[in-house]
Amino acid sequence: MLSDPFFLFTAITAVLLIGISKAGFGGMMGSLAVPLVSLSVSAPKAAAILLPVLLVMDTTGLLVFRGKADAINLRIMLPGAMAGLVLGAVFFHWVDVLWIKAIIGVEALLFGVSRLRQAEKTRDPRSPETTRGLFWGCVSGFTSFISHAGGPPILQYLLPQEMERVRMVATMTIFFSVVNFVKLIPYAILGLLDTSNLMTSALLLPAVPLGYWIGLKLLKMLSQRLFNQIITVAMILTGIKLLYDVI
């Protein structure tokens, strides 16, 4: 793979995209990374190569955004996410991934389009709600485990709060860092971890700081309004991508 210029191009581009997405937009555009690398290798191999990269970025996010996340929302969402991970592990071999992607894809598309249509309207920010937070946290944990599509569900809970952009990204970063690291345990038990591509992953790591740096720069440069619009458009694109996978 490392002697294939096309693989190197897609893999390095994917790592940069993940870094920009995680640091600048809470990881919403990172879902495009695996399909990008899948242009040159199989999808399972692409996911295996990018997993260590994701974990390194999650560790970076924990340091960069330490103390900037919304602690109240995290205390509400994370217990729900842990329940969702348990459900994902229990039903992993029973659930049809395509149905999960279809449901989340349609939901993300409709919610995103609705947000864009109301972009010019003044909205009263919602406060953190235990019931909604636990529910969407659980859905996010479940879909993250089953189909790596945990972003759209958790945004259904966070976006209506009209949170300041740094706090929003920090909250999503901490949330998915915890989810991804906890996910390693059931993945290992289910035999889903493939360590044969670790060397390739290690050679891609130098691209991580550059992508993260670009993402942080964008986060500081964007206005709150433009940030919300980009997040909403990214959610719509994620929904389209999930529906494309199904079709």
**Between 54 and 67, residue with greater pLDDT:** 67
Q: Please state, for a pLDDT cut of 70, what percent of the chain lies above it.
A: 87
d(CA 5, CA 35): 17
Six-digit token string for 178: 């915890």
Q: How confident is the model at residue 130 (pLDDT cuts 50, 70, 90)?
A: very high
pLDDT number for residue 31: 63
Each domain of the chain, given as residue ranges in start order, spans 5-246
pLDDT in tens, 58-86: 888 898 899 999 999 999 999 999 999 99
Cα(200)–Cα(205) distance, rounded to whole angstroms? 9
pLDDT at residue 192, as a whole number: 64
pLDDT of residue 44: 59
Q: What is the pLDDT of residue 96?
A: 78
Report helix, strand or coil for 247.
coil
Q: Among 91, 81, 11, which residue's Cα sits nearest to residue 53?
A: 11
Higher pLDDT, 111 or 1: 111
Q: What local confidence, expressed as pLDDT, does residue 83 receive?
A: 96
**Model confidence band, residue 120 (pLDDT cutoffs 50, 70, 90):** low
Closest CA to 149 of 213, 106, 206: 106
Residue 33 has pLDDT above 80, yes or no: no
Per DSSP, 148 falls in state: S
Instruction: Choose between 123 and 98: higher pLDDT.
Output: 98
134 band by pLDDT with thresholds 50, 70 and 90 = very high
Residue 162 phi, psi dihedral angles, 5° rounding: 50, 45
List pLDDT tens digits, range 90-104.
Answer: 887 787 777 877 888
d(CA 163, CA 152): 16
Does the pLDDT at position 30 exceed 70? Answer: no
Residue 190 has pLDDT above 90, yes or no: no
Say whether 69 sits in a helix, a strand or coil.
Answer: coil
- What's the pTM? 0.79
pLDDT of residue 28: 66
CA dihedral 161, 228, 19, 84 (to 10 degrees): 40
pLDDT mean across residues, the chain = 84
Judged against a pLDDT cut of 70, whether residue 3 lies above it is answered with no
Provide the pLDDT for residue 128.
93
pLDDT at 240 (0 to 100): 86
Kindly state the tokens that stand for 123: 């909205």
Report yes or no: 106 and 243 within 8 Å, Cβ to Cβ.
yes
223 phi/psi in degrees, rounded to 5: -75, 165
Q: At residue 207, does pLDDT exceed 80?
A: yes
Q: Is the pLDDT of residue 43 over 70?
A: no
Distance CA 133, CA 28 (A): 19
d(CA 164, CA 17): 23
Residue 81 one-letter amino acid: A
Burial 221-247 (b: 16+ CB within 10 A, else e): ebeeeebbebbbebbbbbbebbbebee
Give residue 74's pLDDT: 97
